[in-house]
Structure formats: C-alpha cells, structure tokens
Amino acid sequence: MEWFRERLHEVAEQGLRMDRVLFQGKTEFQSAVIFENDRFGRILILDDVVQTTEADEFIYHEMLAHVPLFAVDAPKHVLIIGGGDGGCLEEVLKHPVETATMVELDRGVIDIAREHLPNICGKAFDDPRTDLIIGDGAAFVAETDRTFDAIIIDSTDPVGPGEILFSREFYTNCQRRLSDQGILVTQNGVPFVQRDEFKKSRASFEALFRHPNFFFAAVPTYALGVMAFGCSSDGLDPSAVPLEVLQSRFDALGLKTQYYTPEIHLGAFAWPAYLR
C-alpha cells in the first residue's frame, strides 16, 4: 500500500495511507494530488503539503468563518483571500451575507475541488452571492476601494507565493478595507513549531489594531500542536462578545455545526501559557 509522507517544518514527518488516488497532476502554479484514506476521507495535497481532509475540515473552516461572523452584528460583506477548496466560502454563505468575495490565485484548485471535493465546497461556487475573482489577493486588497465586515485569510504557510500574506504591509492594507466593526482573521499555523512566524504576526497585529488577538483550535491534520488563528479588529473585541449575544445570534440562524458553539467561540481565545 502506498503512503503519502509530509515533512513538517523540517523537524518531523506524518504519513497518510493512500487507499485510492483520484487525481494527480499540476495546476498553473503547483502540483496537486487528491486521494482517499479510510479514516480521513478525501485529502487535498498541494506541493506536497496537506491542505484539507473531508474528515476534519469542519473544525478549521467553521472556526475561520463563524468566529468573526458571529462576533459582528449583521455582517453583510465578506472577503476571503485564498481558500480554493471552497470550505471557508461554504461556511460564510451559511450566514445571511449579501456578498462573499473570494480572491484565489489558482483557478485549477477550484476546478479540482468542484470535481473531487463536493463534500467540502458544496454548492458554494454556484451561490449568487459569491463573487469569485481569480487573481492576487495581496494586490486586490492594496487596490480595491471596497470595505468588508470580515476579511478572512485562508492561506498556505508563509513560504513561496503565500509569504506576502503574512507581511505587515498586507495586514495594513487589510485593516484599511475593514468596516468600522470589521474583523481580520488569519490562518497562522501551528505555533509550537512555527514560533517565529507566530511572533512576527503577533507583533504586526499589536502594532496595527486596537484589539489584536488569536484564537486556537486542534485540527488533527495540522499536526504538532494547536493551530493559531489571528483575530484582530479596531471596532470590537471578538473575544469579549457576551455569551448571551453569541447564543442569540447562533440560535436565530438555526445553524447546524460540528465544532463551533458560542462557548467554543469564547473558550478558543484562552491562550496556552507557553504561547503567552
């Protein structure tokens, strides 16, 4: 039986059994593989790095989308940078937003997801509220004059094309594009082994935002510790929204989630001591 092995931050490896390969090839920008695993379901690999799996994507995508969108009162316009698998977009569209703008560099990833990962993206790319832009996300936020109630950065790690999405210049441009109560949420890796990247982003958020913070979740696929999500705003503190307010918004939406709850929302902002 063939195994896929991923090197993790130059210090470890994880192996996933490839029970059935569904796709193997290249997009315009990167190599791509999709295979099935009996426990994790379908798994997307880009440039030899695990991106998402059917089994645990709900943890990552629910937290990425619902923490900012339940913190903001009646969000209308959301921007997603990256997220070509469509999982974050699908979660955003469960809210009564007016527009969900998604800027993805690699159309090939979207095409692969629509064909092979419908359990992750659903019908998100066909939703009339979806405004899909194929292009450079950093250039988009630098040039657009639109404002958003949430900007969600669903990026790869800070290497290669994704490196700019962790820069202070990029975060500054995102800040300018937020509404008065708007929130910036970012994927910030596994700080137990990506300490320098975490410290760099933390310094940027603290320099730029009135309410800089992170929340955390354990996603099995992203090994070697809890995953960090940057969560910063000038207009509100997403970690201090009263539980009864979160519960009221959650109940009003009638959303069925597998991970996110109002209690998880608040608890996720508790920092492990070693990160403090």
Catalytic positions are: 154
> Could you give the CA distance from residue 23 to residue 32 in angstroms, rounded to a whole number?
8
Distance of alpha carbon 210 from alpha carbon 195, whole angstroms: 23
Tell me if residue 203 falls in helix, strand or coil: helix
130 strand-pairing partners = 100
Token pair for 94: 């469960």
Q: In what order do the strands lie in the sheet with 214-217?
A: 130-134, 99-104, 77-82, 148-154, 178-187, 227-233, 214-217
CB 51 within 8 A of CB 44: yes
For residue 92, give the nearest of 116, 133, 59, 124 by alpha carbon.
Answer: 124
Return the bridge partners of 133, or none: 103
State the pairing for strand pair 77-82/99-104.
parallel
